[in-house]
Chain A
Amino acid sequence: MTLLTVDDLVVEHRTPGRPLVRAVAGASLTVAAGEVVGLVGESGCGKSTLARAVCGLNPAASGTITFDGHPVTPLGLRRRNRALAGIQMVFQDPYASLNPRRRVGAQIADGLRTAGDTVTAPADLLERVGLPRDFAGRHPHEFSGGQRQRIAIARALAARPTMLIGDEPISALDASAQAQVARLMRDLAVESGAGLLFISHDLSVVRLIADRIAVMYLGKIVEVGRTAEVWADPRHPYTKALLGAIPAPDGAGVLPAELSGDVPDPADPPPGCRFHPRCPVAMDVCREREPAFGPVACWLHEPA
Chain B
Amino acid sequence: MSLLAISDLKVSIGGKEILRGVDLDLRAGRVHGLAGESGSGKTMTGLAVLGLLPHGARTSGRIALGERDLLAMPAKELNTVRGGEVAMVFQDPATSLHPMLSVGRQLTEHMRHHLGLDKKQARARALELLGQVRIPGPEGAIDRYPHQFSGGMRQRIAIAIALACSPKVLIADEPTTALDVTVQAGVLRLLRGLCDDLGLAVLLVTHDLGVMSAVADEVSVMKEGLVVETGPRGQVLRDPTHPYTRALLESLPGETS
The residues of A with any CB-CB pair to B shorter than 8 Å are 42-44, 174-177, 201, 203-204, 207-208, 231-232, 241-243, 245-259, 262-263
Contact = CB atoms under 8 A, between A and B. Distances in A.
Interface string B166-192: 000000000001001111111011001
Nearest to B251: A179
A257 B234 CA distance: 20
Interface stretch (B9-17, B79-87, B212-220): B212-220
Nearest to A202: B181
A251 B236 contact: yes
Contacts of B233: 251, 253
Interface residues of B, number: 41
Given A42-B180, A201-B180, A247 B211 contact: yes
Contacts of B213: 247-254
A175 B211 contact: no
B214 A255 contact: yes
Contact of B257 (A43, A232, A246, A252): A232
A257 B153 CA distance: 18
Contact of A250 (B181, B184, B211, B238): B238
Contacts of B188: 247, 255-256
B207 interface: yes
A174 B38 contact: yes
Interface centre among B177, B182, B213, B256 (most CB of A within 10 A): B182
A52 B208 CA distance: 30
Given A231-B256, A249-B252, A176 B185 contact: no
A258 B214 CA distance: 13
B227 to A, nearest CB: 18
Interface of B: 37-39, 150-153, 177, 180-186, 188-189, 192, 207-217, 233-238, 249, 252-253, 255-257
B151 A43 contact: yes
Contact of B210 (A207, A208, A248): A248
Contact of B234 (A44, A242, A253): A253
A161 to B, nearest CB: 27
A176 B185 CA distance: 22
A119 B169 CA distance: 60
Contact of B238 (A231, A241, A251): A251
A135 B79 CA distance: 44
B37 A175 contact: yes
A255 B189 contact: yes
Given A44-B150, A203-B181, 8 more contacts: A174-B38, A177-B38, A245-B181, A245-B184, A249-B209, A256-B214, A258-B186, A263-B150
B38 A176 contact: yes
A223 to B, nearest CB: 15
Contacts of A262: 150, 152-153
Contacts of B37: 175-176
B182 A241 contact: yes
B185 A259 contact: yes
A245 B185 contact: yes
A44 to B, nearest CB: 8
Nearest to B149: A262
